[in-house]
Amino acid sequence: MPYVVTQSCCSDASCVYACPVNCIHPTPDEPDFLSAEMLYVDPESCVDCGACATACPVDAITSTKRLTPEQQPFIEINADFYRQVRPRTVLAQPVPAARVEGGPLRVAIVGSGPSAMYAADELLTQPDVAVTVIDRLPVPYGLARFGVAPDHTKTRRVSRLYDVMSEQPGFGSYLNLTVGQDVSHEELLAHNHAVIYAVGASTDRKLGIPGEGLPGSASATDFVAWYNGHPDQSEREFDLTQRRAVIVGNGNVALDVARILTADPEALSHTDISPRALEALRHSKVEEVVIIARRGPAESAFTVPEFVGLLGADVDIVVEGDVPEPVPGISQKVEHKLRLLRGLADRPVSGRKRIVFRYLSSPTALSGTDRVAGIELAHNELATDADGTVRAVPTGSTETLDTGLVLASVGYRGVPLPGLPFDDAAGVIPNSAGRVRSAPGGEVVPGVYVTGWIKRGPTGFIGTNKSCAQETVRGLVEDFNTGRLTEPAYGAGDFDALVSARRPSAIRGGAVAARPGWKARLLARV
Ligand code: NAP
């Protein structure tokens, strides 16, 4: 019986390199890696050795013998991937580590989320390299801690991998230290050969409609930060006295928020959820969450694995309106989404709390005087442009849905950083393959690099940041080896003195102690 990849796949591709028969695809070298929603085991080639399961940092891979009933669809989802004709230009090969010549090389990394940790880890594959990871928060790991839903316990285990990375020789960190406030970008460059910005996309995109900002309207990203105990949201209150909540946008964040709003609080009490949020959820009156999408079922932004996971939740799931039948020629992931959504028509509802998927509806205003009382929706039909883009076009008909809580879940957005260029249209720092440029297509800014969402925009999964970081580090090391980086004017000790003077409360080190069992397991696989 083969192994299968399941919902919590983080796409870091550890399994690809662990597999002795090259049966997990797409690999980071293959063209469809960046567009894939997860990795897939080829059931024909799998030799059932379990090496992939051991290597996976988030326990996403399991034997088909051990799947729960809710996980059964993953057998077909994995197998289906190998039924399509797809490019297999390159077989899985570890990306060669960039070799540092003539070290020591000193690099500061701003941010401590997944993209920062993978960049640090890639740099530390080389001897004679020192990295200093810096985060404004007093705890590390960014969205791995404050973005992953608390009930996604397997995905949250990726933090243990970062604990191990943090224990490597050459790894240093400063937490509770804000770049641009306590120390400047110029000061970082004066103490290091290079600075990598791995700051993510720290704000939310706005709906831009009247009424946004009324009490009762908020961003889903703030709600996520709140239930995960982010210090910036510690004082926040969300009014959960309403029977119906509405989420605008139907990406994976919307699914996370809908699941948490409808979950049994007792089931969440064993997770890392913030105690304050748990208490609020215990008193919640929310019985229905409506997820609004401006386009149709085929354009749903959520991924197949996350939707399969939602189907296993203890909640009724209802799809309003017709779901088209899959037609030949559509992509495999759209076909899976349509089949899963159509399958809901036959699923009995049991009167539990419910999540409603509503399509072809755009919010035009939030109604209410001193707080949100409803959301005004324009009904849409779909139009396809010459390039294949499917657009929502208003039909002219409208309606108002009563609700006292509207969460906009329309994506994250990068923010400009002091002293650095910014591409406002794309919400990223302009760069080519991680080398920062003065503007899109402009001059390279020496010694400054980006990785993660601030480099490529807010898409992909935790492990996507690994190949992203490898690309950035390859460019950085090449620049170092060819003499394009300036020797820092000051030493590492000088930086410590600067931080002590400017920010005595900065926390040096900051790595969470690695669990011995995990480390042994990690070392056993390399
Ligand atoms: P997302 O996947 O980009 O989805 C954004 C949603 O907002 C889409 O439905 C989009 O509709 C809609 N939207 C955008 N502008 C809108 C507007 N003005 N009016 C109405 N709707 C609008 O964003 P996300 O959910 O924040 O996720 C961000 C990334 O994190 C994704 O790559 C996601 O997969 C990842 N993530 C993954 C997990 C996981 O794997 N468990 C969990 C959370 C997040 P259109 O499609 O019509 O533009």
DSSP 237-302: ------SEEEEE--SHHHHHHHHHHHS-HHHHTTTT--HHHHHHHHT----EEEEE-SS-GGG--S
**How would you write the pLDDT of the chain (526 residues) with one tens digit per residue?**
689 999 999 999 999 988 888 899 999 888 889 889 999 999 999 989 898 998 899 999 999 989 999 999 999 999 999 998 876 554 444 455 667 887 799 999 999 999 999 999 999 988 889 999 999 999 999 999 999 999 999 999 999 989 999 999 999 999 999 999 999 999 999 999 999 999 999 999 999 999 999 999 999 999 999 999 999 998 999 999 999 999 999 999 999 999 999 999 999 999 999 999 999 999 999 999 999 999 999 999 999 999 999 999 999 999 999 999 999 989 999 999 999 999 998 888 888 999 999 999 999 999 999 999 999 999 999 999 999 999 999 999 999 999 999 999 999 999 999 999 999 999 999 999 999 999 999 999 999 999 999 999 999 889 899 999 999 999 999 999 999 999 999 998 999 999 999 999 999 984 433 333 444 444 443 3
Q: Compute the distance from residue 386 Cα to the ligand 1 centre, in Å.
A: 24
- Residues lining ligand 1, CB < 6 A? 207, 248-254, 256, 293-295, 299, 301, 303, 306, 362, 409-412, 458-461
Q: Compute the distance from residue 409 Cα to the ligand 1 centre, in Å.
A: 7
Cα radius of gyration rounded to whole Å, the chain: 24
| CA of 254, closest atom in ligand 1 | 25
Q: Compute the distance from residue 181 Cα to the ligand 1 centre, in Å.
A: 31
Phi (first) and psi of residue 61, to 5 degrees:
-110, 130
Which pLDDT does position 523 carry in this prediction?
A: 41
Q: Compute the distance from residue 18 Cα to the ligand 1 centre, in Å.
A: 32
Nearest CA to ligand 1 atom 8: 249
Q: Compute the distance from residue 194 Cα to the ligand 1 centre, in Å.
A: 33
Q: Compute the distance from residue 251 Cα to the ligand 1 centre, in Å.
A: 4
Nearest in space to 275 (alpha carbons), one of 227, 232, 322: 227
Interstrand relation of 374-384 and 194-197 (parallel, antiparallel or unpaired):
unpaired
pTM exceeds 0.75: yes
Q: Compute the distance from residue 2 Cα to the ligand 1 centre, in Å.
A: 33
Which residues on adjacent β-strands are paired with residue 203? 413
Nearest in space to 462 (alpha carbons), one of 68, 156, 84, 6: 156
Nearest CA to ligand 1 atom 4: 251
Which residues on adjacent β-strands are paired with residue 449? 196, 435
Looking up tokens 């809710």, which residue turns up? 70
199 exposure class (CB count in 10 Å sphere: 0-12, 13-18, 19+): buried
Nearest CA to ligand 1 atom 2: 251
| CA of 460, closest atom in ligand 1 | 32
| CA of 220, closest atom in ligand 1 | 26
Nearest CA to ligand 1 atom 32: 459
| CA of 302, closest atom in ligand 1 | 2
Nearest in space to 421 (alpha carbons), one of 455, 394, 379, 457: 455
Q: Compute the distance from residue 253 Cα to the ligand 1 centre, in Å.
A: 7
Q: Compute the distance from residue 54 Cα to the ligand 1 centre, in Å.
A: 31
Which pLDDT does position 29 carry in this prediction?
A: 84
Which pLDDT does position 87 carry in this prediction?
A: 64
Q: Compute the distance from residue 399 Cα to the ligand 1 centre, in Å.
A: 24
Nearest CA to ligand 1 atom 42: 252
| CA of 205, closest atom in ligand 1 | 15
Mutating to test ligand 1, I would choose from 156, 294, 377, 468 the residue with most ligand atoms within 8 A of its C-beta, which is: 294
Mutating to test ligand 1, I would choose from 6, 158, 224, 253 the residue with most ligand atoms within 8 A of its C-beta, which is: 253
Q: Compute the distance from residue 411 Cα to the ligand 1 centre, in Å.
A: 5
| CA of 295, closest atom in ligand 1 | 47
Which pLDDT does position 99 carry in this prediction?
A: 77
Q: Compute the distance from residue 413 Cα to the ligand 1 centre, in Å.
A: 11
Q: Which two tokens stand for residue 114?
A: 């997944």
Nearest CA to ligand 1 atom 12: 249
Which pLDDT does position 225 carry in this prediction?
A: 97
Q: How many Cβ atoms from other residues are within 10 Å of residue 355's Cβ?
A: 23
